[in-house]
Structure 1
């Protein structure tokens, strides 16, 4: 083996290690999803409280994104990755020993902080560590680590809860072990940033310049709709499967919740093969079809419809999100790009949290079935609005 081959091999190892750390952190953020019915039984939580528990995660994500979003450029990638893994491990410990609402809320916030740190920092770190011979796979691996990790979390927890004792502890113990492995991977990875002599830490500002709004608004609406569906499946799907469809197997609940994110990964991977101007409309259209199928599954109490809808909606969400993010970044002036992209992510994480609290509130008055159908109708309406705006913009450009 030549020196260059050996260096490339070592770089591939650190690259995959960074991707593993990224995936591990994202797994931890969706780990509680199939366990929510158990928390309800153990602590007597209402469905509204379950949606609140889920939503505080997004508050942690948004806070970390805004506060630490630019810190890795100053402090280096590795310190921020270590901080994210520490937050993830602390979340595991808190959930493992949770004895009530306060600790569960704290665990979710810590989980959100870990995701907020990793969303920006780990994506850049993975791209920077990719070996030359693997360069074309860098974005693909970063995407798979992010969304794939989110999808594997519920599946892992569901299987462990269904097959082994201590269902409210074992998933977090297993994840804690994975987090230790991730720390070792980050420890072995080289730093890719040269620290400036004078470190300036600042909070990321939110901004959408006037010249970007024509691109930003339809992309943000599509992202909002897609992340609403993500929030629905990770926060409320367990209750629908149990209360409305009669399925209480934790492995099944985890699979249904996780398959949406795995499908989103596929959508993000294939969007580059679509015509550039058609990516976002195609994603919106597929997402619209997906939520219609989900509505059919809810109305007819059909597991097949619920599952098929999750897959189709996930593919559409993945295409629309990556296409929208790319369009927004491309349309933004360099001096405002970070602020615009951060604003886009904040819109997405507001969508994953606030609407599901609305489901909890409405669901306390109406049936979950009626609430779910209304929610699907709102997502479908947003998809249609985004499609109309995109078509108008396309006609305006062609004129």
Structure 2
């Protein structure tokens, strides 16, 4: 296949993943609208928010156990996109709690299926040991989809232009385009996976040397806390900025969170040129610094320190994601255990639930006590991850020197 056909297939897969991730964040600005229109309680909205993650985890756990031949990868891609298409229709006409729950669960199923098989398809498509194009394409599509969704819906809600339907019409159109793109590139996506034995001897042997399941565990630990911190800033940040740090401007907080995701995207592009473990190490160090800065901002009640912490965490988020995804992709290919890719994202989505512990603590203690306890916990986790990454790299270097001799 030509490079042009491969690039076209990669773009089709990226658009499909972008659409799936867009569906995850698109309804976020609509939750207050649902509350005002239909009188939903806060717990009902939390259930609508949480059932999406349940759908993703179910899909990832299921696809990890299902073996599909590489020549048939378009089938689960069609299934995932069909779920997102169906969910857009359900959400477009949702006027009660049960339809919203069903719509979000189906969205989660579609996103989880796409997350599993688009990553596998990208690994097969960009079939080279030294390239992390597959990991960068997947992680960039994920972040852009999550970042752009609320911006689209927020602008539509602000202008009052059929707020409950227009976002899902846009999603519907994007999914149809994705299905068409996947269909046009079906021969490239379904082509037989070439052997990597020759490649290991010629190029990339150094980058593969010493990688094993131990490295996957380190990546999962880093992703867990990275996604937990991102979820903390996004879900609890606006409330805490107003009530604890006395930041009255809602727009300023919104722009800060958008900047967080923008920095995460830029750091992926920058870190792509680094060795995958260098990217992971830099991200882990930046994450530890971000957590400590956030803890300092709580003690000083300084919004400027919190802003720096958010930006630093954005950098860490992108660096860890592209580094961890590259390492897990390489180990999955080396061992032919593609369910490891699912494991990485399962751990990430479980990390999204860590901020619920902060909410529980704030219900029983003062905000300062809750924030201190939560950030001390995150600091301990971050330190453990830093030490794990340090010793993993050291073991990898020792193994490399032994094999050389």
TM score, norm. by length of structure 1:
0.77
Judged with a 3 Å threshold, the aligned counterparts in structure 2 of structure 1 residues 33 and 242 are, in CA distance, closer, same or farther, namely farther
* Contact kept? 2:83, 2:110, Cα under 8 Å: yes
Q: What does the per-residue CA deviation read over 1:127-174, in whole Å, with 9 as the maximum and x for residues that have no partner? A: 556799xx9855543432222222222222222222333434332232
- The answer as to 2:14 corresponding to 1:19 is yes
Judged with a 3 Å threshold, the aligned counterparts in structure 2 of structure 1 residues 171 and 366 are, in CA distance, closer, same or farther, namely farther
Judged with a 3 Å threshold, the aligned counterparts in structure 2 of structure 1 residues 194 and 379 are, in CA distance, closer, same or farther, namely same
- The answer as to 2:73 corresponding to 1:77 is yes
Tell me which residue corresponds to 1:198. none
Deviation at 1:283, TM superposition (A): 0.9
Q: What does the per-residue CA deviation read over 1:96-130, in whole Å, with 9 as the maximum and x for residues that have no partner? A: 33334333332322222121111122234345567
Tell me which residue corresponds to 1:58. 53
Provide the aligned length of Structure 1 versus Structure 2: 373
Deviates more, 1:185-194 or 1:232-241: 232-241
Q: What does the per-residue CA deviation read over 1:151-206, in whole Å, with 9 as the maximum and x for residues that have no partner? A: 222222222222333434332232222222222222322233269xxxxxxxxxxx
Tell me which residue corresponds to 1:342. 342
- The answer as to 2:373 corresponding to 1:377 is no
Q: Secondary structure at the match of 2:104?
A: helix
Tell me which residue corresponds to 1:204. none
Q: 1:86, 1:212 → 2: CA distance?
A: 35
Q: Secondary structure at the match of 1:337?
A: coil
- The answer as to 2:109 corresponding to 1:109 is no
Tell me which residue corresponds to 1:162. 158
Tell me which residue corresponds to 1:386. 385
Judged with a 3 Å threshold, the aligned counterparts in structure 2 of structure 1 residues 74 and 124 are, in CA distance, closer, same or farther, namely closer
Judged with a 3 Å threshold, the aligned counterparts in structure 2 of structure 1 residues 276 and 97 are, in CA distance, closer, same or farther, namely closer
Q: Secondary structure at the match of 1:364?
A: helix
TM score, norm. by length of structure 2:
0.76
Question: What is the 5 A alignment of 1:293-304?
Answer: 293-295=293-295
Which of the residues 28, 43, 54 maps onto 1:33?
A: 28
* Contact kept? 2:276, 2:327, Cα under 8 Å: no
Q: 2:237, 2:33 → 1: CA distance?
A: 14
Q: Secondary structure at the match of 1:167?
A: coil
Judged with a 3 Å threshold, the aligned counterparts in structure 2 of structure 1 residues 17 and 105 are, in CA distance, closer, same or farther, namely same
Q: What does the per-residue CA deviation read over 1:23-48, in whole Å, with 9 as the maximum and x for residues that have no partner? A: 122111111233344445553433x6
* Contact kept? 1:56, 1:105, Cα under 8 Å: yes
Q: 1:270, 1:386 → 2: CA distance?
A: 22
Q: What does the per-residue CA deviation read over 1:16-72, in whole Å, with 9 as the maximum and x for residues that have no partner? A: 2332222122111111233344445553433x6554433322221121122234555
Judged with a 3 Å threshold, the aligned counterparts in structure 2 of structure 1 residues 108 and 394 are, in CA distance, closer, same or farther, namely same
Q: 1:397, 1:296 → 2: CA distance?
A: 34
Judged with a 3 Å threshold, the aligned counterparts in structure 2 of structure 1 residues 367 and 189 are, in CA distance, closer, same or farther, namely farther
Tell me which residue corresponds to 1:365. 364
Deviation at 1:362, TM superposition (A): 3.1
Q: What does the per-residue CA deviation read over 1:195-252, in whole Å, with 9 as the maximum and x for residues that have no partner? A: 9xxxxxxxxxxxxxxx956434433221110010232244434544566544445xx6
* Contact kept? 1:89, 1:179, Cα under 8 Å: yes
Q: Structure 2: which 5+ residue stretches go unaligned?
A: 193-210, 399-405
> What root-mean-square deviation, in Å, do the aligned CA atoms of Structure 1 and Structure 2 show?
3.7
Q: 1:56, 1:222 → 2: CA distance?
A: 24
* Contact kept? 1:154, 1:254, Cα under 8 Å: no
Tell me which residue corresponds to 1:208. none
Question: What is the 5 A alignment of 1:1-399?
Answer: 9=4, 12-42=7-37, 43-46=39-42, 50-69=45-64, 70=66, 72-73=68-69, 76-126=72-122, 139-191=135-187, 192-193=189-190, 212=212, 214-240=214-240, 245-248=247-250, 255-274=255-274, 277-295=277-295, 306-328=306-328, 330=330, 334-335=334-335, 337-352=337-352, 354-366=353-365, 371-394=370-393
